[in-house]
Amino acid sequence: MDVLDHLGAMREGKLSRRAFTRALMASGVAVATVPVQARRAMAAAEDQATYFT
């Protein structure tokens, strides 16, 4: 189901509030975790020193 299907089902009373909220939560979790998974640790090149001041 896409967003318009969910909204239509909610208006018609075919979808409960809990099911609608569960779908919103699932999409929110997916949107929040995608950027976290995309990041990867990158090591500095061996010939460059890293120092903190």
C-alpha–C-alpha distance, residues 13 and 23, integer Å: 16
Give the Å distances, CA to CA, from 48 to 3, 40, 43, 44, 53.
49, 20, 10, 7, 16
pLDDT tens digits for range 24-36? 888 888 888 776 6
pLDDT tens digits for range 1-53? 577 787 788 788 888 888 888 888 888 888 887 766 555 656 656 677 777 87
- Stated pTM of the model: 0.47
Show me where the domains of the chain are located: 3-34
Mapped onto helix, strand or coil, the DSSP state of residue 44 is coil
Mean pLDDT over the full length of the chain: 76
C-alpha–C-alpha distance, residues 15 and 24, integer Å: 13
